Amino acid sequence: MSRVLSGIQPSGDLHLGNYLGAIRNWVEDQGSHDAFYCVVDLHALTLDIDPAELRIRTQDTALDLLAAGLDPDRCTLFVQSHVVQHTQMAWLLECTATMGELRRMTQFKDKSEGKESVRVGLFTYPVLQAADIVLYDAERVPVGDDQRQHLELAREIAIRFNHRFGDVLVVPEAAIPKAGARVMDLQHPERKMSKSVSSPLGTVLMMDEPDQITRKVKKAVTDTDGEVRFDRESKPGLANLLELLAVSTDRTPDQVASSYERYGDLKADTAEALIELLRPVQARRAELAADPGAAAALLARGAEKASEVAEVTYARAAEAVGLLAPR
């Protein structure tokens, strides 16, 4: 079975974009791949996050992933910082990547724009991400569209490393879903729904109550021309709603558009579909909350399994670059 790896930051409550763009596909890949998934807590350190909150969020994110359908008997779920080779491999790759290519990363440009002081970790974050991937010899990386550029970089770094040191790293490929790859903020449909950007009305959380979902969808920004048609460029708010309803009901946005004449009806059905989509996840999450200790044990088992693979890959890479092996 080919190897899959993906990760999610414990930087806030998980939302619909995370679910549709990534997690739903992780659940599907468990059946057909040797799947590794991690809560990337080291990446969250690039943001201002309270230490006590980070610990809680890391555990909660793991519970959310289990609730969404990750099955520890069919995948390896672990916390990134529990496997020390991530940072070790990141250093080998930092010595392979260039400043120029990191400066081109649009996420870095967006997050550093206008800031007087920018952390080095924010700049080198995509290299740590490349290390996360190559450590597991992952061929496939299921992510949302916002990660396309980072994945391209990971490929380039792996190819360059191999060119210099031999056939050491597996070159990964992004697996971006056809539908749900870029869920937009309901209040600012020109930007993606995100954990770290505060937009309470624009972000549908995986754990939102039905009436919260209804309220957020009802208040979603659309446009004034009143015509229901799928047009991402000139009607981004409406297009987002059409895509959400389409992906929740296995149709295309154009098919959905042809069934509606009024925005209000479309919004009501979109809210209903999202409530139904998230209902089983929320029910499982409530069950899991009763025994948070169980998640800690699962994560320990996951880290053990992940370390077994990461140790071998890191040793191979360290030897290739000429580091003297410890006795």
Residues that bind ligand AQP (CB under 6 A): 8-9, 11-12, 17-18, 21-22, 107, 143-144, 146-147, 181-183, 192-196
The least distance separating ligand AQP from the CB of residue 323, rounded to whole angstroms, comes to 31
The least distance separating ligand AQP from the CB of residue 217, rounded to whole angstroms, comes to 15
- Indicate the residue among 144 and 237 with the shorter CB distance to ligand AQP: 144
> What is the spatial distance between Cα 318 and Cα 326, in angstroms, rounded to a whole number?
11
- Indicate the residue among 168 and 183 with the shorter CB distance to ligand AQP: 183
Structure tokens at 195: 């954990």
- Indicate the residue among 92 and 126 with the shorter CB distance to ligand AQP: 126
Structure tokens at 221: 């920004």
Phi, psi (rounded to 5 degrees) for 275: -60, -45
Q: Which residues contact 270 (CB under 8 A, 6 or more apart)?
A: 217, 241, 244, 245, 248
- Indicate the residue among 29 and 314 with the shorter CB distance to ligand AQP: 29
Backbone region of residue 274 per phi and psi (left: phi > 0; alpha: psi in -120 to 50; beta: other values): alpha
- Indicate the residue among 18 and 76 with the shorter CB distance to ligand AQP: 18
- Indicate the residue among 21 and 172 with the shorter CB distance to ligand AQP: 21
The least distance separating ligand AQP from the CB of residue 227, rounded to whole angstroms, comes to 26
Q: Are 146 and 181 in contact (CB under 8 A)?
A: no
The least distance separating ligand AQP from the CB of residue 214, rounded to whole angstroms, comes to 20
Residue at shortest CB range from ligand AQP: 21
The least distance separating ligand AQP from the CB of residue 43, rounded to whole angstroms, comes to 7
Q: Which residues contact 157 (CB under 8 A, 6 or more apart)?
A: 93, 96, 97, 127, 130
- Indicate the residue among 171 and 175 with the shorter CB distance to ligand AQP: 175
> What is the spatial distance between Cα 126 and Cα 157, in angstroms, rounded to a whole number?
10
Tell me the catalytic residues. 111, 192, 195
Q: Are 26 and 299 in contact (CB under 8 A)?
A: no
The least distance separating ligand AQP from the CB of residue 110, rounded to whole angstroms, comes to 8
The least distance separating ligand AQP from the CB of residue 46, rounded to whole angstroms, comes to 8
Structure tokens at 143: 């992510």
